[in-house]
């Protein structure tokens, strides 16, 4: 193991109640250590996205225990979960989800402004630095909806990084992109884990993508069958 444990799931069970009670997650237990690049794979409907939303604290309706940075999450308030998401988790979604009302730079800065750790000037500087890493600095003042899909995803990754999160979670981040852009996104993740020792947890159904990560957690019918 590379280092301390940043995320731990213990015996997580999750049910859907409509149309009828079905168990989507069964006794899911695993740990992620600092600096790991982990992918979760499985067929569509195996519960991997559901698991990600539970791990991200957005979904709180489950049984079992979740530890982020060795802190138990189940007992905490929604407000505290928001704080954890802001401070310790970076998000990348399948459909990029930038805020269309704001410019690229503002999109990157908003989680930082919310955290309030740095002044606006510092944040602007930091955001520009991070945009530069992905070659996006030239688009900083464009509106989010003026970018192409691949560009949007790169901005979304930049935004996930702005608060130096403990872990970045991705829900099929390359799922909606063509091969070329998908490769760009993957190489960005690779770079993050190698150069910045960033912990990553990526849900994907792309076998090639998963194969190149450090560790694969494979799921089937709500269970982890291999990790």
Partner 1 sequence: MKISLTLEIAKSLMLARLKQTTVAAVGVTFSLTMFVALLGFMNGLNTMLDGLILNRTPHIRFYNEVKPNPNQPIDQSEEFGDYYNIIRSIKPSASRISIHNNEAIVKTLQEDPRVLGVAPKISAQVFYNVGTINITGVINGIDVEAEADLFFFQDYVTAGNYIDLKNTANSIILGKGAADRMMAEIGDVIQATTAQGNRIQLKVVGYYQSGLGDLDNVQSYASIATTQKMLGETASYITDVQVKLKDLALAPSMAREYRDVFGIDADDIQTVNAQFETGTRIRTLISYAVGITLLIVSGFGIYNILNMMIYEKMDTIAILKAIGFSGRDVNNIFIAIALTIGFVGGGAGLILGFLAGLGIERIPFETEALPTIKTFPVDFNPKYYLIGGVFGLVTTYFAGYFPARKASSVDPVDIIRGK
Binding site for partner 1 (CB under 8 A): 49, 53, 56, 58-59, 78-79, 82-87, 91, 93-95, 97-102, 106, 110-111, 113-116, 159, 171
Nearest approach in angstroms of CB 211 to partner 1 is: 26
Between 146 and 194, CB nearer to partner 1: 146
Check: CB of residue 69 under 8 Å from CB of residue 147.
Answer: no
Nearest approach in angstroms of CB 106 to partner 1 is: 8
Nearest approach in angstroms of CB 79 to partner 1 is: 5
Between 86 and 137, CB nearer to partner 1: 86
Between 36 and 106, CB nearer to partner 1: 106
Between 108 and 184, CB nearer to partner 1: 108
Between 119 and 194, CB nearer to partner 1: 119
Nearest approach in angstroms of CB 214 to partner 1 is: 25
Nearest approach in angstroms of CB 187 to partner 1 is: 24
């Amino acid at each position: 193991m590379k280092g301390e444990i940043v995320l731990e799931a213990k015996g997580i069970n999750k049910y859907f109640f409509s149309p009828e009670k079905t168990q989507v997650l069964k006794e899911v237990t695993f740990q992620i250590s600092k600096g790991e690049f982990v992918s979760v794979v499985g067929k569509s409907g195996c519960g991997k996205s559901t698991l990600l939303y539970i791990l991200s604290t957005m979904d709180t309706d489950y049984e079992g225990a979740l530890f982020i940075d060795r802190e138990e999450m189940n007992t905490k308030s929604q407000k505290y979960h928001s704080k954890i998401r802001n401070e310790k988790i970076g998000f990348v979604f399948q459909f990029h989800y930038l805020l269309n009302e704001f410019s690229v730079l503002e999109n990157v800065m908003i989680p930082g402004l919310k955290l309030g750790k740095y002044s606006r000037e510092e944040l602007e500087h930091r955001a520009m630095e991070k945009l530069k890493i992905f070659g996006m600095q030239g688009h900083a003042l464009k509106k989010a909806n003026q970018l192409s899909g691949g560009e949007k995803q790169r901005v979304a990754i930049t935004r996930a990084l702005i608060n130096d999160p403990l872990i970045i979670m991705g829900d099929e981040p390359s799922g909606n992109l063509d091969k070329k852009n998908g490769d760009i996104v993957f190489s960005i993740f690779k770079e993050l884990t190698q150069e910045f020792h960033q912990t990553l947890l990526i849900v994907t159904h792309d076998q090639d993508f998963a194969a190149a990560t450090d560790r694969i957690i494979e799921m089937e019918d709500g269970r982890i069958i291999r990790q």
